[in-house]
Chains A and B, each alone.
Chain A
């Protein structure tokens, strides 16, 4: 119950709740206490050396993302009819699939319930319920991949002190969510779809590039020079929709406080670092705590964590990997 509440608060832009010392279990307090003076820089370096930063999940994810998008492209180009359509709506070997946010926009604007759309929406809802909600963002969305590459450039420029990162308030994304829902409802046009880089890129890959890619380019330039991962962090309603689905998903990243150095390597690489605030010393609610549903399950923190304190888990199953 707490997980759901905490997740929803974070998804809609609230700061993660910090537990009061009195509310933390004694064992957790003992763990924090025992680390006093024990987390030297040398220890951390040793842990990092021992861990060896692999990119296991990064590669799994990039390969999956490319394969899914290429399956769309190949299905059309070679007319093999496995995955027809684009990311907004498609048919996988004949079964209807509809992107949850696109379907929502259409239903708000059109104000009719279309059976095929309902079938497609329910199918996709169940898929992401099983796989983790915002898993869509980091494992499927083509804009995410481009934004990741833009992010490397952004971080390099920041490191060289050529530019400075500008943050926005995370509640802006909730404001956008409401605005775009209302715009669709009131105007009768799917306003968000006209600027969604996910839809634009997916169609460009499948049906060929168009002028609309300029808009995607502008967004990427904004992310490189002005604000790190701005679209995904502060704007995209697709992420909100899938995050809400992810609240009830068993696939999560889970944190164990025992060996954690609290050095923050994970927060530095995370697309949505607020979800990892629980790794700050003294910030966890329990020894084992699941990362909130705003997490995109990209696995970068799992890859980088020098003490293996962050891992994937499927609730109800044993930890895997």
Chain B
């Protein structure tokens, strides 16, 4: 059936014009490939300059400033954003280069206050970029707080604080257990009247939890009830170490003044930075440190 000369006959006579068009198409295609790949590689600039490093949600697969594994494993879907009860998690934009779509936390605007108790973002993460290795807030290593401006600290000046912590326009949320155990409320709706400002200690989620545990232990000792034990087992183990306290420290002029001191239990959640009433915050969270790197 087949024509034996078929191949020879079919060989097309490519005209010069067609060849020229093919050549141009090849050049155009190469330029397109080079262009798109170059644009995609530009995303490495902010990453290699560490300009894109940020405070990450609990459990982020990173080692201080080395965030490569976190970038690799995150599928950029934002499910962590969706479950956070205080909307602490945001997704990075184009200026973060390779980090586009990766979750971060701006602690001063809205810190993670663990009001979900169970680390919902970790549970929501489909890829383990927020590693499931941790069970409780005290297990997280987001960063480590630091008294960056001791002179601005109200406590260090011996000052109290009266009013709403961040002004009436502040949008941030925080859980106040004594007001509503389940729903965080606006910081702007909660006025304080303190003789000595201790907001960073008072609102520290780790410290609050430790106090609750101590209370519960007392209750249990008084009247052991099985109900309390069930609550205990549900997602909020007692933090083993303190995170922050006000301590009397002698300053240069020889006067002993109170000052927040960070301790081993600090997980870097950023609530102290958010609640600090001075502008800009006297206490901040370093995301390139954690309690293991600071305290060994």
Contact = CB atoms under 8 A, between A and B. Distances in A.
A98 interface: yes
Nearest to A190: B72
B2 A193 contact: no
A84 B82 contact: yes
Interface stretch (B96-104, B137-145, B174-182, B283-291): B96-104
Contact of B98 (A86, A117, A180, A189): A189
Interface in A153-194: 166-169, 171-172, 175-176, 179-180, 183, 187-194
Nearest to B90: A207
Contact of B2 (A22, A166, A171, A183): A22
Contacts of B76: 86, 88, 102, 190, 193, 199, 203
B95 A211 contact: yes
B37 interface: yes
A245 interface: no
Nearest to B43: A194
Given A179-B33, A190-B76, A195-B40, 12 more contacts: A22-B1, A88-B75, A88-B77, A89-B79, A91-B124, A109-B72, A169-B25, A180-B40, A187-B44, A195-B36, A199-B101, A207-B90
A295 to B, nearest CB: 22
B1 to A, nearest CB: 5
Interface in B50-97: 68-69, 71-79, 81-83, 90-91, 93-95, 97
A36 interface: no
B26 A89 contact: no
A224 interface: no
A96 B77 CA distance: 12
B94 A176 contact: no
B25 A193 contact: no
Interface residues of A, number: 58
Q: Which of B29, B47, B71, B82 is the most central at the interface, judged by chain A CB atoms within 10 Å of its CB?
A: B82
Given A175-B33, A235-B36, A214 B94 contact: yes
B223 interface: no
A215 interface: yes
B25 A167 contact: yes
A128 B273 CA distance: 47
Interface string A87-122: 011110000101100110010011110101100100
Contacts of A111: 72
Contacts of B74: 106, 190
B14 interface: no
Contacts of A120: 126
A76 B69 CA distance: 27
A193 B127 contact: no
Interface of B: 1-3, 6, 25-26, 28-29, 32-33, 36-37, 39-41, 43-44, 47, 68-69, 71-79, 81-83, 90-91, 93-95, 97-101, 124, 126-128
Contacts of A172: 29, 32-33
17 contacts: A22-B2, A102-B76, A106-B72, A109-B71, A116-B127, A117-B75, A117-B128, A176-B33, A180-B40, A187-B44, A189-B98, A195-B36, A199-B101, A203-B101, A210-B94, A211-B93, A234-B29
A111 B73 CA distance: 9
A269 interface: no
Given A195-B40, A203-B91, A234-B32, A90 B79 contact: yes
B212 to A, nearest CB: 28
A234 B26 CA distance: 12
B100 A96 contact: no
Contacts of B25: 167-169
A98 B75 contact: yes
A194 B100 contact: yes
A89 B32 CA distance: 29
Contacts of B28: 166-168
B29 A86 contact: no
A110 B94 contact: no
A85 interface: yes
Contact of B126 (A98, A166, A189, A199): A98
A212 B36 CA distance: 15
B73 A114 contact: yes
Given A194-B40, A199-B101, A207-B78, A110 B29 contact: no
Given A168-B25, A169-B29, A235-B36, A193 B68 contact: no
Nearest to B24: A166
Given A85-B82, A168-B29, A189-B72, A195 B39 contact: yes
A214 B75 CA distance: 21
Contacts of A189: 43-44, 47, 68, 71-72, 98
B127 A230 contact: no
A30 B206 CA distance: 84
B77 A85 contact: yes
Nearest to A219: B36
A25 B36 CA distance: 45
B290 to A, nearest CB: 22
B36 A176 contact: yes
Contacts of B94: 210-212, 214-215
B88 to A, nearest CB: 14
Contacts of B100: 193-194, 200, 212
